[in-house]
Structures are given as C-alpha cells and as structure tokens.
Chain A
Amino acid sequence: MTAQMVENFLQAAVAGLLVGAIYGLMCVALALIFGVMRVINFAQGDFMMLGMYAAYYFFAALGVQAALGSTLGPYVAAVLAGPVLFCVGYVVHKTLIGQVSGTRAQVEGDGHFAQLILTLGISLILQSAGLIAFGSILVSVRTPLSSSAWEIGPLWGDLISVFVNKSRGISAIISVATIVALTVLIGRSRLGKSLRAAADNPEAATYMGIDVDQAHRIAFALGIGITAIAGGLLATNYPFSPFVGLEYVIIMYAGVVLGGLGSIIGPFWGGMTIGLVQQLSTLVLPTQLQNTAIFVVFLLIVFFMPQGFFGRSVERS
C-alpha cells in the first residue's frame, strides 16, 4: 500500500465524517418525527429545501451577510433557518398532517395510508411552488471558507497530509452541537418527557394529562426546524435547486433505518455511516455508482443486523 493510497483513504474518510455529521443531523430530525408520530414524511427533503432557501435569503437578502460578513454569516443564516421552518412545520401539522394522524387517525385499518399520500402531495406542492418562487437555477450560499482548508500533517515523515475543508468542518461542528442540544432538551426538559411519553404509549400519555396531538405538533415542528438547519449547513457547500429534496430524503430514510429509532444517537450514526460509505466508495467505484453503493451497503446491514445499530424496536423483525 503506497502512501498515496493511504492519503486518499484518509482524505475520503475525513470527507465522509464531515458530510456524515450533516447527514446524521438530517436523520436525527427525521427520526424525531417518525419516532414520536409514526408518520412517514415524504416531504422531509422538501422542507429541507425550504430551509436551504431560507438560509440563502437570510444571508443574501435579509442582511446577515451585511451584518456579519461572508465568513460567519452563512452559519448564522443556517441556524436562523431553524426557527422559521419550526413555525412552518407547526402550521403544516396543525392544518394538514394532524388531521389524519395522532388521535384523529383511524385506530386500525388504513389510517397510515392517508398520511403517506398526504405527505406525497405536500412534497409535490413544495417542489413546484419552490420552482415558481425560486426558479430552477442552482444557487449556493457562498463563503470563502469552502475553498480553504486546515492541513493535518504532514504525517509519517512528510508523506501524508490530510486536508479538512474549513466550511465542512464548521458545519460538522454545528451539526454535532445541535444534536447535543437536542439530546439535552429531550432528556432533561419537561417538553422532552412529554414527547417521549407520547411516543412510547400515546394512550397512557393521554391519561397522564399530556396533549398528545400537541406533542406530535412540537415533534414535527422540531424535526422540520432541525432539518432546515442541516439544509442551511449543506447549502454552504453544495449548490441546490427546488428539486434537491428527492436526493436527500433517501439518504435520510436509509440512515434512520440503519440507526434504528430507539435513541437520538442511533440515527446519527446511521447518517454518519451513509456519509462514510458514500465518500469511501469513490475510491473503488465510479462516481455514478456512489448511490448504488449506499443502497447495497444499506441492504446488507439491514439484512444482517435487522435490529439496526442501536435499535431496540420490536416491530422491525
């Protein structure tokens, strides 16, 4: 094994870890919604797209760039996208999704079918409305950091050095910080307790005086808000258009299935795995097969570890 190969491997691994952290954040957001509400949200990727545009407009049009500059601005804009999309998620749940889920869902039978097609419809609306509002041209949030890197090394006597893209590095740090904050919120706060209770046993939670529909609404809004932050972070490195959601919703679901729904950290590792597989596969496979590699690894893991990495869920196998 030559030094060049080791360097390529390390470089790909670092890239995988960094993008994996953002994927992990997306997966955590999705798992929060799914774990509490049991609703498969097909529009998750499109809400993330809205988050990306929210960050973009915060940065370019609403003065964040003017106030904070291009170095710090994109990250502040990304974080600001969170609360905005939280409100969007709250309203969407209140007016639409809450009508066919939670305590209003049919107890048995085909209740979950309605939720599926509803989110498919929302996804279609968001994409097309996005096309009208934002146009189909690829845009991105520009920061000088995305073209500069920290150098680790040289290691092993000048043979190997690894570059960490500054923008991706900061995005990864913000992702992890968001997850830590969420963990504390869910684990420690009263709100977190009511969310966990509503997820665990909606009926019992109702008897304990918890408004389960409200808990679902908060979980949904929180999930959308966090996805928006992930989207905003992604926007600093990857150009996007209104149709970007489709690409990522698959990554999100794959990560969630891998990580399982038992905890917050499980889906994070799921997303991280996807990021690593995606980047490492470029070492041996043509770029076009990057996504095929993700799905193959995904299927293998699912079949050989049907419980997921951290899953303790009875319903999967």
Chain B
Amino acid sequence: MPALRSLTPFFVFAGAFAVIALAVTNSYYQLMMTLVLVWATFGLSWNVLSGYTGLVSFGHAAFFGIGAYTTALGQIYFDLTPWLLIPVAAVFGAVAGLLIGFPTFRLRGVYFALSMLAYPLALLYVFEWLGYQEVTLPMKRETPAAYMQFSDHRIYTLLALALLSVIVLVTRMVEQSRFGMALLSIKQNEAAAEAAGIDTLKWKLYAVTLSGAIAGAVGAFYAVVLLVVTPVSVFGMLVSAQALTVTLFGGVGTVWGPVIGAAILIPTAEILHAELGHIVPGIQNVIYGLAIVVLILVAPEGMFWKARDFAYRRWPHLVAAPPDATVHQSATCGPPLAAHAPVPSSAGAPLLSVRGLSVSFGGLKAVQDVSFDAARGTILGIIGPNGAGKTTVFNLLTGFLRPDAGQIVFDGRNVTRRKPHELCAAGIGRTFQIMRPFARMSVADNVVVGAYVRASTDAEARRLAADAMARVGLADYAHRIAGELTTRELRLMELARALASQPILLLLDETLAGLGHGEADELIAIIRRLAHAGITIVIIEHTMQAMVRLVDRFVVLDHGAVLVEGKPETVTRDPRVIEAYLGKKWTAYAQS
C-alpha cells in the first residue's frame, strides 16, 4: 500500500523520538517533548482543513478548547476517565466542526478566515462568564492509570506519539485518496473543481469535521497533560496562532510541515524562555518573533518545501520522483476504452433545449430571452462580438449563474438552477475561457479530478483519466506539472479534464483562443473526432473563421440576445451578422 510505504521516514522519526524520550528523565524536558507532539498534531488538524483546501482558519482554538473543557468538566462532574473522554472530545470537535463549517463556508477567502476568528473568542468569554476561569483536573491517587495520570512523564510522551502517529496515518490516507484530491482541487481553483463535478461544499464539510475531531482530541489530551484548563490557554488567539505558526513554518499541505515546525519552534521558544526570560522579561519573544520573521523571508513556502526544492536541484537523482508519480504509471499504461457512444434515450428530441433564458446584473440585461437547441451528435457554435453574453450563457448552462427567467432542458430533464457539480454529474462537461488549471498538480491529477464524478473507485478514475488524456493526445504529458504547460497543452488538458467525466454534452469556451494556426487545426481535428464519437458539442468563439469549417449550426448573439440562428453558410452572409461584427458601413461592402 503506497500510503504506508511513503510513511517509512515518519516511523523512523517516531522511533527515534521514542528512544530519545525514554532516555530523558528530566521532567521539564519531557514535558517539552510531549508538547512538541501535541502542537504537531494540532498543526496537522489545521492542515487537514486549511492546508489542503486553502481556506485559512483562524479559529481552530474553538475545537481545541471544546476538547480541553470536555475532559476537564467530564472528569469533574461525571467522574469519567480521559481514556473515554478523549474520543468523546473528538466527537464533540467533529460536531462543532460541522456546525461551524456549514454556515461559514458560505464565505470565501479572507472573509472565511476572519469569521473563523469569532468562534473561539465568543466561546472564551462564555466560559469565563460560566465561572470556569481555572479548572483543575482532580487527582486520582488510588487508580491513577485508569484516569491517565502517570508520575512518569515519559508515558505522556509515548501517548502523544501514538496519537500523532494515528493522525499522520489518517492524514496520509486522506492525502492520497479522492478526498485529498477533491480538497486540493478546491484549493487550486474552486470553480473548476465544481465544473469537474466535485461537490465542493460536501468535501469541505468532511474536511472541517475531520479537522475538528482531531483538534478536539488533541485539546482533550493537552488538558490531561497540563491538568489545568483556563479559557485563554485553550480558546485564546495564541492557540489558533500556534496551529498556523507550526504549520506555516514547517510547510503547508504536507504531513511533515507541522511536525517539523513544532519540533523546531516549541523547544526554541521554551529554551529562550528558560534562558533569557528572567534576565529581560519579554526578550525571549522578541528573539522568537525575529526568528520567525527571518525564516519566513528566507523560506516563504515553509521549511519542508524549501528543503525539498533544494534537494531536487542539488541531487535530482537521489530524490525520488514526486510521491504520486508511481501511482499513475500503471493507470496510463492501461488499455484505452472503446469510443464512448452514448445511447440516445429519446432520439429525435434535441439533447439541450434552452427556452427564454434571461439574466441581468443590476440594470444590465446580460442575457435576454435566449432560446436555442443543440441536436444530438452535432456541433453548435455560439458566436458574437465581445460582450455579447456568450460566456454568461455558458455560466447559466453550467449552473455558475442562476437565470432570472427561462428553462434549460437537458436530455429530457429540466435542469434549470442546478448546481455546477450536479450538472457535471448529469453529463455536461465544460472548459473555461480563462484557463483554470489546478496549477500545482500534475496533468494526470488534474484530469483524475474530473473523472471522480463518474468513477466509484480511485483505480477507475485513473483509468478514465488515462483514456481522456489519450483521446486528446496528452498521454505523454501525464506527469508534467500543470503550471508549466503551454497554452496549447493547457487547452488540451482542460479538454481532457472535461472528457474524463464522460460528458454527453461538452461546452467549450473559446478553446481556440490564443492558439497559432497549426495548433488551432489540431484542436479542431480533436473536437471533430469527439463529435464523431457521439458527444454533442457547443462551442463559443468570437472569431468566425475557424468555426465555419467546424460547426453544424451557428447561434449568433449580440447584446445578450439571439441575432440569427442557422447553418454556417447562411449565417455568414446575413447582413445583420456582418453589421454586428463590423458596423453598418461594411454591410453593403461585404454583400457586394
């Protein structure tokens, strides 16, 4: 299992840590070692949500504090043991994650980040008001082990190590599954992820639930180790900041980041505190802060990524290929699927039928009363000058915008006002005018994300992706990083990503834009092949030239309304079209 193989370095680290921990008898250093592991685990919890989805949370102390108070109050009021309360705290953390995530995911970017800030701080004051300013866990002298109380501090370190190992394992499995891919694609480009059929809200909720569960468990364990819980020490700003600091310092989006960050930062802070704190109070934090500032200027992406990039440049042959490359090899070698020919469910009726579609932004009627049909197996071209509303029509068709009026019937079903990922699942694939690659993922991974909507297993998704790449001639590019591709290759990759979802209707938004003549011809040939294979295609272009040779019918838009509809040869001669493109004075000239 690749997830386990790649964990060898971690288990070596864990083993070494355990050996050192057993050798250390000084209880102060022992506590420090425990805390390194606690904050590393907390960092991993933050990483599951924020590192993978890119939605930065400033409020992870909410989950941490709920966990800590669960153990403290559960032991005081119900005499329960932490062995039971830590899992309970994880459940509470998960529930809190779900409750917080559901409303807060309505916000994006920085608004999300800042709103998260509010939860732990609101809880902080509530717990103060409830009179839990300082809660001490009762000592159990008769049965200490049953209440997770040990006089030998090494046991806490080993327990923390066990907790960390479990969480690393979980994170690793997430990272390499469909779950992790969905999160990464959300981080790279949420709109493209939706269009690729990923239910972004669902995956984000899974992520925050898992993240909350981990943070709750860590907070519970922290209370057991320190025996005293105060609102500020578990709900405070600095707790949330700690999760960010260790993760960002170590490296975002990798299990190693929080571990490295915590292993360096926690001892540094403690030693500075012990050595300098009594000489000039405050100087330890100045130095600590300076260390963070300097390191982030040197390695803005975090220690792990900096070190990895350095190693790649220095010893390219020693460092293994990117961890996921091996996984794809077998997939891309598999036999390509037979041409995909959908069975027409109600032959004769158009596959896509649009009636009276309208939407306005403020006072601007971007699309007004647009109606057209796309017959099965045909290529429909939507053309029109800049600002005619072509892309808006696509956004309406794919659920990114909701129409004010009108109806969209696809494959005999009314799909008006559905969400993008639902439409993708129904069989509508799309590409974007401004390309939206998942820039830091490999070409193969980009395409695999598109296949998930149709595949029930990871292996099947890889097979669909390999097939889609073969169909557009990208098979040799599978391992390249999307950010390095040329315009032509990116266009092909977006096409493959859309194809991987096995669409029966493919919407192409200015797929030919920015391509040279030869490149455009290549793409046109591919599009023709797809149409022959039975996929219905609607393509937007604003130049007519290339399209005339490709499409079966044209819809010409101007000022948000349909100007003309018909066969290419009639449309290109229509005076209204010439006027829309060139202005009135050319009409006579063009017709002569």
Contact = CB atoms under 8 A, between A and B. Distances in A.
Given A254-B118, A288-B125, A124 B296 contact: no
Contacts of A116: 56, 244, 248
B109 A316 contact: yes
Contacts, number: 148
A121 B289 contact: yes
Interface in A72-119: 96, 99-100, 106, 108-114, 116-118
A128 B289 contact: yes
A315 B109 contact: yes
B311 interface: no
Nearest to B100: A299
A100 B296 contact: yes
Interface in B104-129: 106-111, 113-115, 117-119, 121-122, 125-126, 128-129
Given A128-B289, A288-B129, A289-B125, A257 B115 contact: yes
Contact of A302 (B115, B244, B301): B115
A180 interface: no
B111 A257 contact: yes
A315 to B, nearest CB: 5
A120 B244 contact: yes
Interface stretch (A58-66, A171-179, A207-215, A290-298): A290-298
Interface in B425-476: 439-440
Interface in B216-254: 237, 241, 244-245, 248-249, 252-253
Interface string B322-358: 0000000000000000000000000000000000000
- Number of chain A interface residues as a range: 35 or more
B286 A306 contact: no
B121 A250 contact: yes
B257 to A, nearest CB: 10
B59 to A, nearest CB: 10
Contacts of A227: none
Nearest to B290: A125
B245 A120 contact: yes
A106 B440 CA distance: 12
B292 A124 contact: yes
A53 B425 CA distance: 60
B296 A114 contact: yes
B288 A131 contact: no
B9 interface: no
A40 B41 CA distance: 25
Interface string B268-292: 0000000000001111111011101
Contacts of A289: 125-126, 129
Residue of A34, A254, A302, A317 with highest tally of chain B CB at under 10 A: A302
Contacts of A250: 117-118, 121, 237
Contacts of A238: none
A118 B108 contact: no
A236 interface: no
Given A34-B110, A114-B296, A121-B290, A131 B121 contact: no
Contact of A295 (B103, B122, B244): B122
B300 interface: yes
A127 B282 CA distance: 8
23 contacts: A38-B110, A96-B297, A100-B297, A106-B301, A109-B301, A113-B302, A114-B296, A116-B244, A117-B296, A118-B296, A124-B286, A124-B292, A125-B289, A128-B284, A128-B289, A132-B281, A253-B114, A254-B118, A290-B125, A302-B111, A306-B106, A316-B107, A317-B111
Given A96-B293, A110-B302, A306-B107, 9 more contacts: A110-B300, A121-B289, A132-B282, A132-B283, A250-B118, A250-B237, A253-B114, A253-B117, A315-B109
Interface of A: 34, 38, 40, 42, 96, 99-100, 106, 108-114, 116-118, 120-125, 127-129, 131-132, 246, 250, 253-254, 256-257, 286, 288-292, 295-296, 298-299, 302-303, 306, 315-317
Cβ-closest 9 pairs across A and B:
A114-B300, A128-B285, A124-B289, A125-B289, A121-B292, A295-B122, A131-B282, A121-B293, A295-B118
